């Protein structure tokens, strides 16, 4: 039979520490709530391009489950395929 712990066995400082840990955890999580910037490599320009700046034609998965983006580079205007990379 399960008997829940008796709160009188824990000092008030323990409750304060739990509150502080919770606040630290929220600050920690806030840093990761922003979406990472996604890049694709243009082999013709030999440069990384932000996904938001290229014209997306198609997206699919390779055999490993990675995202492969077919896009048109805004600089050299060529159609390319590349892996989506968060940097």
CATH number 2.20.25 given to 38-86: yes
* Contact (Cβ atoms closer than 8 angstroms) between residue 82 and residue 71: yes
pLDDT at 87: 81
Can you give the pLDDT at residue 39? 95
Give the model confidence (pLDDT) of 2-41 as tens digits.
665 665 666 665 554 555 555 566 666 666 667 789 999 9
The residue ranking higher by pLDDT, 10 or 77, is 77
Separation of alpha carbons 71 and 40, rounded Å: 9
State the Cα–Cα distance between residues 40 and 60, nearest whole angstrom: 14
pTM of structure: 0.60
Strands (E) in the chain, as ranges, are: 38-42, 47-50, 55-61, 67-72, 79-83, 85-86
């Amino acid at each position: 039979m399960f008997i829940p712990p008796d709160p009188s066995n824990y000092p008030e400082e323990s409750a304060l520490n739990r509150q502080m840990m919770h606040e630290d955890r929220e600050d920690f999580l806030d840093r990761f709530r922003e979406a990472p910037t996604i890049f694709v490599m243009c082999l013709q320009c030999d440069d990384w391009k932000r996904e938001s700046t290229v014209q997306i034609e198609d997206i699919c998965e390779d055999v490993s489950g990675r995202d492969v983006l077919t896009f048109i580079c805004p600089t050299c205007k060529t159609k390319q395929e590349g892996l989506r990379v968060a940097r």
